[in-house]
Structure formats: structure tokens, C-alpha cells
Amino acid sequence: MWRVTIKYLAARKLRLLLTGIAVTLGVAFMAGTLTLTDTVQRTFDDLFANVNRGTDAVVRSKAALKSSQFGDSRPPVPESLLGQVRAVPGVAAAEGNVNVPYAQLVDSKGKAIGNPGQGAPSFGFVWSNNSKLNPFRLQPGSNPPRSDDQIVIDKKSADKGHLHVGQRTIVLSQQPSKKYTIVGIAKFGTVDSPAGASVVLYTTREAQRAAALPGKFTDISVVAAHGLSQDQVKANLQRALSSDPKIEVITGKQLTKENQDNIKKALGFFRTALLVFAAVSLLVGIFIIYNTFSIIVAQRSREMALLRAVGASRRQVLTSIVGESFAIGLIASAIGLVLGIALSTGLKQLLNVLGFDIPGGSVVVKPATVIISMLIGTIVTLLSAVLPARRAATIPPIAAMREVSFETTGHSARRSLIGALIVGVGAAILAFGLFTSPKNAISYVGFGALLVFIGVFVLGPVIAQPAARILGAPLPRLKGMTGVLARENAIRSPKRTARTAAALMIGVALVGFITIFAASAKKSFAAAITDQIKVDYIITTGRNFGGSGLSPALAERIAKLPAIEAVTPIRIGPASVNGTVTGVATVKPTAAATMFDFNFTRGSIASLTSNGVAVSKSYADKHHLSLGDPLPVKFSSGRTVPLKVEGIYKRTELAGTFLVSLDNYAKNESQQFQLDFQVFAKLKPGVSAAEGSKEITPLLKHYPTAKLQDQAQYKNEQVSSINQVLNLVYALLFLAILIALIGIANTLALSIYERTRELGLLRAVGMTRSQVRSSVRWEAAIIALFGTVLGLAIALSFGFSVFLALKNEGFSKFSAAPGQLLVIVILSAIAGVVAAIFPARRAAKLDILKAIATE
Amino acid sequence: MTTTLPPTITTAARAIDASKVYGEGEAAVRALDHITVEFEAGKYSAIMGPSGSGKSTLLHCLAGLDRVTSGQVFLGDLEIASMHEKELTKVRRDRIGFVFQAFNLIPTLNALENITLPMSLAGRKPDQQWLDTVIDTVGLRDRLKHRPSELSGGQQQRVAVARALASRPQIIFADEPTGNVDSRAGAEILGFMQRAVRDFGQTIVMVTHDPIAASYSDRVVILADGKIVDEIIEPTTDAVLDKMRALGA
């Protein structure tokens, strides 16, 4: 029996290839993701281990706030602590560190170095004279900074900005920007810069000034005396500093672990996101393989029956099919694994291009990657073949004597019932996840969506016939007999058509959903900006993520311009309210009152004092807050301030849940959150926009990252930033669509093989080759359109459900994106036609004589 | 048989010094060996011969389904041996009717659609009056909306004959048209074909191994080893049987 399996595999190389590709691509995606993240993780693990090698302990304050969004906030420690630390027995050396959250280098042409729009962040640190504690290594010809106007910069920024030792350059910080002399260029360990960030290294005093932390350190690094372990020196330090409960001590190893874990967390998100898309590709692959094996079993039923007739047992027939799928799964997974590993290097390059620098290092292929990829690929293939194999095993020996049996039509009340039931349960779980916001809501939504897909897949054959008839209705008029044949062929095997279309349905549903979601988000966002902001200028950094913003000095300088009536920045930082760490936003109340309309139901922006907080209406309702109620807020400085509710507002798109006054925020949030996210400005009455710009533009020369926009430009930029995310998701879903198209090609190829005789006859009685090709192409187009229409129907219902669920959270407008959906329909019809190119050519090249020869 | 004749309008199909060789060198098989033959218009001709005599190859080459290795093939006054595939397809569609032994019909089309298939492919409207005549002749009026799977073997072959007649081709080629049906249905089909020639002036060339089928024709050409070895005018079943027996078939 095994020999039969192997013979079959060898004889059907093409089929094998097409079936295998469905698995290979999904596995490659998965293996590529795992390899990439493992490689990046290992590289950073090594980097941190290397960088922190000389640090035996770190003394710092305990985290005031821990937030996954903003990171841990630790208040600085006083300079005087350094003396205490140095005096502790077992401490050989100690240095105070100052992290400057924003230190943007400017090149000789006055442009900000790097890509402030989306690149890695820019930091500043103290140049440590203790080589054990200093991860930076000076390059030849460099000196450490000796005075407050001297700096050392990282090699990457130096190369990028064409900066060299001896040159003078501007560095932007939270303080007014200042010119420095570059005295040195340094590498971070062995790499040019830490993860591509740009780094400025100052003297201690200058770093304190730039970070607005005079007389303070971020933390203190310690080198233990010879022969003393990290744990011993940590114990000594803890004992000596125990009087201050806000201080904590960790070992160098713990620091390394912390650094590595941070990377792991960031990578984990990235990894999960990519794996979700890999899973989608594999899911589509399952549908394809299931379909292929179903067709193969139907085509070989006579042969199976013959095997049974000559004495093969049911089990043997089953084993032969399962064996075939096992071999395909194994080979395809192995190829996918190799492909994925190769792909990971490509992805790494892509990340580099995006500005997320990953230091060089060899590719890490963990055994787990190999095992998981091989296992999942093979199991997926096996599972998809089990049902068809069982069907093959039930073929009675007598079938050998009959004509080749065609598949049943797929109409059955039981099928309709089961399909509808699965869709119903899936929709219910989906709705539960969306509307009751349980824990792990995403899992409910995902599982519900999966069930809906499976339900529609089960229902597919029932609706395939009428749907294909409707979709193909214009064909006879357009293409005559060619069109009739295309439509009839698409209808003749509803199960096959439905299964093929279902694979495409998944990809299209996801693309459609994302499109609708993005269109609605854009519409809602645009409406929010139009409704809630009335300003003349908005100054942004064009940065969507990363730790920096605009120097507060800029807003202050703009406020002093004669043309300007009012200016307010927006800043966002972490705060703990009622035990939950969340974001808190700030504006200058008097200025903001003339610019924003957050729809206050109680109080107003203008009346917001430094002792008050305004909260969103939904939060107020949930916590039964009304005007004047106390609401203590713990800020990142560690201070808990007894604020009172001074306003309640409805619109949260820009303001978020909590709004405090700027002086309150400036006093209580840590320095690292004191950068302006955006600055809003309003002109004096009667001043033209041109006059205003004339005054503001020269100022911006000193702030190369700042970008001046009017409200319309701002709206366009904010809305189009959604497109970037959208394009990324499209790119990731492309693979699933590609696999589905391969599925269409595969089904058609198998169908054409089965219709050899019929095609021969058609050719004999006068069908031209181009008519044959056209007929196959239109058949593919109908199948593709069927899958697309199903997918878009699902997309619309998902999209609308999500809209309803998020309606009160800023998702105020729904857009079905009819234009884009129409484009999707047209594109998928074209894609179907493209998928049909190869099968159509095969059909057209068919040898008439061989086809019609009767024995 | 004889020397080359100038083309005349009464000749529906001709092969001149036609050879067909399969394979090369030692393994070469000569299916047609310098055959010259012509089939008169308005006549019912049969091609007979033992298995492997080349009778099907001759039919395929005359019908533009296969190409001769050397020599010429005329359909009326059209030389088709040197035609491109595209032109040849049009010739088959517009000038030739086919009846095969089995798998004559497209399973997704109903009887009427199958009958008008060549014209639909050409984008032409059938001549309704003629179509009615053909349908009534083969007696399919009440079966037109049925799909092939709902028709008996004999009915399916009648649909095939109707299709061959419906476009009024210059010539109909039939390859063992009764090979797959019982003798009663076979006699019916052969009768229809005979009527098509006698009553409507149609030209038919049929390959068969059945002497009874051959006896419906006006003339039988007998092949052996790729050559024409004999012919019978106005054949009877017995005359055909005798000649075939003489060939040892």
C-alpha cells in the first residue's frame, strides 16, 4: 500500500507542488517570525549583558508608577546620595547617571538627524569617566567632554549627520537649544548606537541642566570591590541605605534582566501580531488542502474502489491518503522552515530601513522554532486530509464497476442547519467579546470570528449554486457560449466552488474589515478634529511613536509673538487614578478654552484650576463623580495630589479620560513627560494667516523637528497616518490572499484534468483556444467573486459590530468605504483571472485527439 | 486509387498522397501510407478496415483534428493540411459536423444548447426553420431542455447527430456513431443519417467496423495497413462481410 502512495506522489508532482505551497508559505511566515524575534532578542540579550558587565549594582528610587504604555516612572535621587553610596563598604566606585529624555542632534545643515517622523528616539546621558560603568567606547581621535559645552555623540549619528570631532552643532532639549563642540565619537559596546537611537553624552552638570534635574541623578551605578559578589555589595548597600524607604538597590544582573525583559515585552507584541497573520495564512492553507484532497479523492474513487475490490482494507485506503498528506506536510513544512529562516534576514533588513536598528549578529534558529514549524505544518496538512481520507475509505468496491462518480451537489437541510448554527454561535461569542468587554476580549472576538468563517464554509455549498448563477448572470450576454460554459462549470460542483471560494473569503473578509474599520476611524477622527478644534496653527513633530516631542521653550516663544492671541501645548503622561495607571493630558486652561470644544456637561476648560481635574463623562458616570468630588491623582513624580473634579466632558478623542491644568502637570509629572506632544496656536482677530506664518516660521528654524500646519493640513496628516498602519496590515494579509489564489489555480487545474474529454469535444466542434482560455478565466472570476462577496458580507457585519461596540469610545462615525470595497471586488476578480492563467493555458493546449480518443 | 484529379465541386473531401507517421526512426509507425482518396459531395461514405488499418487516422486527418505528415488534404476546395490551428478550428466549427462514438455532449448544457453549440461558439443564430426540421427528424422535440445525464445512450447519440446537422456543414464526419448503443438505437441513428443524405443532400463520411452500419452507405472504402485496398459501391451487409473476411479481419 505504501508503494501506491509513493507512486502517486511521484506521478503528481505539480499537484504536490501546488498543495504544498499552501502549507509552505504559512510555515515560512511562522518560522520567519520566530527566527527573527529570537535573533533580535539574542542580539539584545548579548548587548545588554555586555554593556552592563562592569556594573555590579544600581541604586535608584522605587518606581512611583508602573505602566505598560509609559514604562516605569522613577523619581530622581539627590546628588548627595552618591557620597553616601561611595562610603558604603565594598563599593569600589560609584557614578551618578542622568537620563536626558530628549536630546535631538542637528546636522551642519540645520536638519534634525535621523528620521524624527518615525525613527528611533534621541537620548542624552552623562559621560562616565569610569570605564567599567561606561558602555560607550571612544573612537580614535576622540576625547571625553571636559566642559559644559563639550559633548560626545554616537557613531551612527556622526556618520548620518556627517559630524566630526571639532565641529560645533546644536542639540535640542527641553531647555532652550544650545550649541556644543563635538569632542568625541563613541560606539555603544560594539555597535554604532543603541538600537539606532541617537545619543548625546554630556558632562554631569550639563546633563542635569538639559534634563531639568539640577542637583539630581536618575540613578547611581556601583562597582564592587575586588572579590565581592554582586549580591554581597547589594546587601551592603541595602543595609546602609535602609533608612530611606523610597530607595531600592538591584544587582547588575538584575538590571540586565530588566533590560532584556523590556525588549522581550516589546518584541512579544510584535511577535504575536506577526504570528496572528501567519495563523491566518495557515488557516487559508487548511481550506486549500482540504479542498485539494477532496477533489483528489473524488477523482480517484474508481481507483480506490478497484483497490478495495482486489483486497485492500478500508484502513489501508485511509492510510494511503493520510500517508500522502503526511508526506506533503512534512516536505512542505521543511521547505517552509528553510524559507522562513531565509525570510527572517530579509525582515531584519526591513526593520533597519524603518529605522529600528538591529545590531548585527548571526541568525538564531532555536530548536523550538524547528519543532513548532514542522509540527504545525505537518499536523495542519494531516488534519485537512483526514475527512477526505475517511470519505475515500467508505467507497465500496462495487464503485469500481460504475462510471466515475461526481460529487454530490451539497444541498441538504442538515448542512444548512449545522452551518447556520455554527455561524450563530460564532456571532454570539463575537458579540459577547465586543459588547460586554470581558477579560481576554480579543480571544472571544478571534474565536467567534473563526467560528463564523467555519460556519460560512459549511454553508458555502448551499449558497454556491444560486450565488454563482447570479454572479455569472451577465456572462452569457457578454461572452456568448463561452460565458454560458464558464457559469455552468462554476455551478456544476458547488462543494468545490464553495471550498475554493472560502479560502479567498477569509483573506477578503479581513482586508475588507480592516478597510471599513480604517475608513470609519478616519471619518470619526476627521469629525473629531473638525468638531473639537478651532485653531489657526498646530505644531507637531510628525512623530507617531517614540519618546520625544517638542521642547516646551517653543510654545513659550510662540506665545510672545505679536500676532498670536493664545497658545497651549498638549502633553500626555502617566498617572494613577483609583489605583489604575492611565494617561493624563494637560492644556493651558485659559488658552484651551478658546480653541477646544470637548463638550463639557459640567464646568468648563477655562475654570480648570491647578487643584482640579476634568474627567470624561463615561468615567464620571461609572465612578459616580460629580462636580466638586475629590479625586486624588498620583503622578509620575510619586506625589499624590488631592484634586477635585472641576469639569465633566463628553468628547474624549483628543482629551482622553483625564485633563489637568498645565501648571499642575508641570509641577507633578516627571521631567521625561514634560515635552510638548503638540502645540496649538490662535491668531489675534484681524491678523491674516500669512502674517502669522511670517512670524512663526523664523522661530521654527531653531527647532528642526517642528512642523507648522494649519487645521486642514493637520487633519489630513492625522487621518493619513492611519493609512500607514492600513498598508502594513494589507501587506501582512497579502500572503493569505496569495495562498487563496493558489488554491483557485489548483482547483481549476484539477477540474480541467477531470474535464479532458469535454474540452476535447468542445475543441473538435469548433471552440477556439482563446475561447477555451476565456471560459476558464471567467469560471475563475466567478469563483473569486463568490469568495469576495462572501468575504465582504462578513467584513461589513464585523465592521458594523465593532463600530457599535466602540461607538461611545470615539468611534463615532461608520463608513462602509464603498469605493474601496468596489476596488476590492474588481481586484479580486482580476486576481481570479490571473490565478486562472496557468490552468487556462493547459486547457487550451489540450491534445484534441487524446482527449476524444475512446480507448 | 487513381491519379490526381482536378478539384471539382462534387468532391467534399480529398486526401492526396497523404501519409501519417507516428514516432521516428526504427520505432516509426506508418498509419497512412501515401493515400489518395476522395469523398463525393451528397453521398454517404463509409471507411472500414481491421484494427490498426488507419481508418480513424484518415478520418481525423480529413476532419482537421490531426495533421498528415506529408501530402495534401482538401475540404471542398480548401487545403487544410497546412492551415494554422486557429483557421482549422474555424473550419471545423463552420464547415464540419461531428458525431463521435461516446462523450458527444457537454454535460452542463441541455440538449438544445448542445445541438446549437457550434453556432453559439461562432456567435451565429441558427436557422430556426432548419433547426425545427432537424429536431423533428431525430424526434427530440420533447427532450430539448434535458441534460445529457437525463437522456438514454441512444437519445444522446441522436442529439449528437442533430448537432452535426444543425449548422448545415459541408460534411459530417462520424466515428463509430453506433459503437456504444444497442442495435435498435443504432439502426435508428443510421437511418437518420441516411435520410440526411438522401432527403437533405448532406455529405457524410463514417468510420465503422460494423458491416450492418456500412450497408447504410453508398460506398465503402476499405483500408489495410494505411493503404486503400478495396471499395464497394452500393454495399450490402454480405458484400462487406465477404470483403472483410478476405482481409482476415
Q: Is the pLDDT of residue A115 over 60?
A: no
CA atoms within 13 A on the CB side of A839: 31
Contact yes or no for B163 and A765 at CB 8 A: yes
Check if A482 contacts B (Cβ < 8 Å).
yes
Residue of A nearest to B88 (CA): A766
Please give the sequence-ordered ranges of beta strands (E in DSSP) within A596-698, or none if there are none: 600-603, 612-616, 630-635, 640-649, 658-661, 678-683
Mutation test of the interface with chain B: which of A765, A778, A846, choosing the one with the most B Cβ atoms within 10 A? A765
**Residue-level pLDDT at B9:** 52
Contact yes or no for A765 and B122 at CB 8 A: no
Contact yes or no for B106 and A848 at CB 8 A: no
Tell me which residue in A485, A758, A854 faces B101 most closely, judged by beta carbons: A854
Residues 53-82 (B) with a CB less than 8 A from some CB of A: 60, 65-66
Contact yes or no for A764 and B92 at CB 8 A: yes
**Residue-level pLDDT at A309:** 77
**Residue-level pLDDT at A333:** 95
CB A701 within 8 A of CB A109: no
Q: Would you place residue A67 in the very low, low, confident or very high pLDDT band (cuts 50, 70, 90)?
A: confident
Q: Is the pLDDT of residue A779 over 50?
A: yes
Check if A408 contacts B (Cβ < 8 Å).
no
CB A281 within 8 A of CB A26: yes
Q: Is the pLDDT of residue A40 over 70?
A: yes
Check if B179 contacts A (Cβ < 8 Å).
yes
Q: Say yes or no: A172 and A37 in one domain.
A: no
Tell me which residue in A765, A848, A854 faces B102 most closely, judged by beta carbons: A854
Contact yes or no for B107 and A771 at CB 8 A: no
Q: Grid coordinates standing for A730?
A: 494589507
Collect all residues with Cβ–Cβ distance below 8 Å to B244 and sequence separation of at least 6: B48, B50, B211, B222
Q: Say yes or no: A46 and A76 in one domain.
A: no
Residue of A nearest to B100 (CA): A852
Last residue of a domain, one of A677, A702, A727: A702
Rounded-to-integer distance, Cα A594 and Cα A559, Å = 14
Chain A partners within 8 Å of B176 (Cβ): 854
Check if A757 contacts B (Cβ < 8 Å).
yes
Contact yes or no for B121 and A848 at CB 8 A: no
Collect all residues with Cβ–Cβ distance below 8 Å to A263 and sequence separation of at least 6: A40, A41, A44, A45, A48
The whole-number average pLDDT for the span A12-37 is 85
Residues 826-855 (A) with a CB less than 8 A from some CB of B: 848-849, 852, 854
Last residue of a domain, one of A405, A423, A448: A405
**Residue-level pLDDT at A79:** 93
Distance (Å) from the alpha carbon of B67 to chain A's nearest alpha carbon: 11
Check if A480 contacts B (Cβ < 8 Å).
yes
Check if B229 contacts A (Cβ < 8 Å).
no
Chain B partners within 8 Å of A486 (Cβ): none
Last residue of a domain, one of A262, A278, A313: A262
Q: Is the pLDDT of residue B2 over 60?
A: no
| Residue at A36 is within a domain | yes
- Name the average pLDDT for chain A: 87
Rounded-to-integer distance, Cα A70 and Cα A640, Å = 18
CATH topology of domain B43-53+86-247: Rossmann fold (3.40.50)
Q: Would you place residue A542 in the very low, low, confident or very high pLDDT band (cuts 50, 70, 90)?
A: low
A231-240, A386-395, B163-172: which range is least confident on average?
A: A386-395
Distance (Å) from the alpha carbon of A299 to chain B's nearest alpha carbon: 17
The whole-number average pLDDT for the span A764-773 is 91
Q: Say yes or no: A73 and A129 in one domain.
A: yes
| Domain boundaries defined on chain B | 43-53+86-247
A291-295, A439-443, A723-727, B180-184: which range is least confident on average?
A: A439-443
Check if A761 contacts B (Cβ < 8 Å).
yes
Contact yes or no for A485 and B109 at CB 8 A: yes
Instruction: Give residue for cell 454570539.
Output: A428
Burial class of residue A227 in the structure, from the number of CB atoms within 10 Å of its CB (0-12 exposed, 13-18 middle, 19+ buried): exposed
Q: For A50-62, what is the HEC assignment?
A: HHCCCCCEEEEEC
Q: ipTM value, please give it.
A: 0.87
Chain B partners within 8 Å of A763 (Cβ): 89
Rounded-to-integer distance, Cα B13 and Cα B39, Å = 5
Q: Is the pLDDT of residue A118 over 60?
A: no
Tell me which residue in B109, B120, B163 faces A488 most closely, judged by beta carbons: B109
Q: Say yes or no: A633 and A601 in one domain.
A: yes
The whole-number average pLDDT for the span A44-65 is 89
Q: Would you place residue A525 in the very low, low, confident or very high pLDDT band (cuts 50, 70, 90)?
A: confident
Question: Taking Cα atoms as reference points, which of A793, A802, A812, A789 lies closest to residue A444?
Answer: A802
**Residue-level pLDDT at A855:** 41
Rounded-to-integer distance, Cα A803 and Cα A815, Å = 9
Residue of A nearest to B180 (CA): A854
Q: Would you place residue A18 in the very low, low, confident or very high pLDDT band (cuts 50, 70, 90)?
A: confident
Each residue's pLDDT tens digit, B29-62: 888 999 999 999 999 999 998 888 888 899 999 9
Tell me which residue in B85, B103, B123 faces A852 most closely, judged by beta carbons: B103
What is the helix, strand, coil percentage profile of chain B, to 5? 40, 25, 35
| Residue at A257 is within a domain | yes
Distance (Å) from the alpha carbon of A854 to chain B's nearest alpha carbon: 7
Q: Say yes or no: A202 and A59 in one domain.
A: yes
CB A116 within 8 A of CB A543: yes
Check if B52 contacts A (Cβ < 8 Å).
no
User: Which residues constitute the domain of residue A556?
Assistant: 552-702
Q: Say yes or no: A182 and A63 in one domain.
A: yes
Contact yes or no for B103 and A768 at CB 8 A: no
Q: Say yes or no: A15 and A66 in one domain.
A: no
Who has greater pLDDT, A405 or A293?
A293
Rounded-to-integer distance, Cα A73 and Cα A371, Å = 40
Q: What are phi and psi of A836, to 5 degrees?
A: -85, -5
**Residue-level pLDDT at B171:** 94
Contact yes or no for A766 and B123 at CB 8 A: no
Distance (Å) from the alpha carbon of B107 to chain A's nearest alpha carbon: 8
Check if B100 contacts A (Cβ < 8 Å).
yes
Rounded-to-integer distance, Cα B67 and Cα B78, Å = 14
**Residue-level pLDDT at A601:** 93
Contact yes or no for A769 and B85 at CB 8 A: yes
Residues 136-165 (A) with a CB less than 8 A from some CB of B: none
A341-345, A437-441, A651-655: which range is least confident on average?
A: A437-441
**Residue-level pLDDT at B138:** 86
Rounded-to-integer distance, Cα A325 and Cα A19, Å = 9
**Residue-level pLDDT at A358:** 66
Q: Would you place residue A403 in the very low, low, confident or very high pLDDT band (cuts 50, 70, 90)?
A: low
**Residue-level pLDDT at A724:** 81
Contact yes or no for B117 and A854 at CB 8 A: no
Q: Is the pLDDT of residue A160 over 80?
A: yes
Using alpha carbons only, how large is chain A's radius of gyration in Å? Answer: 33
Residue of A nearest to B61 (CA): A849
- Name the average pLDDT for chain B: 88
Contact yes or no for A480 and B89 at CB 8 A: no
Who has greater pLDDT, A550 or A1?
A550
Q: Say yes or no: A80 and A38 in one domain.
A: no
Chain A partners within 8 Å of B94 (Cβ): 766
Q: What's the domain count of chain A?
A: 3
Q: Is the pLDDT of residue B190 over 50?
A: yes
